Amino acid sequence: MATGKERRIGVVGIVLEDRTKTAAKVNAILSAYGDNIVGRMGIPYREKDISVIALIVDGSTDEIGALTGKLGAIEGVTVKSALTSFSSPV
């Protein structure tokens, strides 16, 4: 089991249900956790007024949990994550 000091690699999926109201808050959080984000792909679905963001992350379970927790606390934002069982020391 990973401790807060071991690093995990994973994927975080984010759906913004009202992108015009939530995008600025989401981007601020993503910027704050930029050191943990390896890659990011965002697709705006303008016809439905939603956006889908996929992140590749690398960080401790505490860091990734804090990131997903803050994102999930925003009304209209759904977050799911999947982390590898592989862990490496910091």
Closest by alpha carbon to 37, among 12, 62, 3? 12
* Domain spanning 7-85, CATH architecture: 2-Layer Sandwich (3.30)
Q: Where are the domains of the chain?
A: 7-85
Please list the ranges in the chain whose pLDDT falls under 50: 1-4
Q: What is the pLDDT of residues 13-27, one digit of tens each?
A: 999 998 889 999 999
pTM for this model (two decimals): 0.87
In angstroms and rounded to an integer, the radius of gyration of the C-alpha atoms of the chain is 13
Which stretches does DSSP call E strand in the chain?
7-16, 37-45, 50-60, 77-88
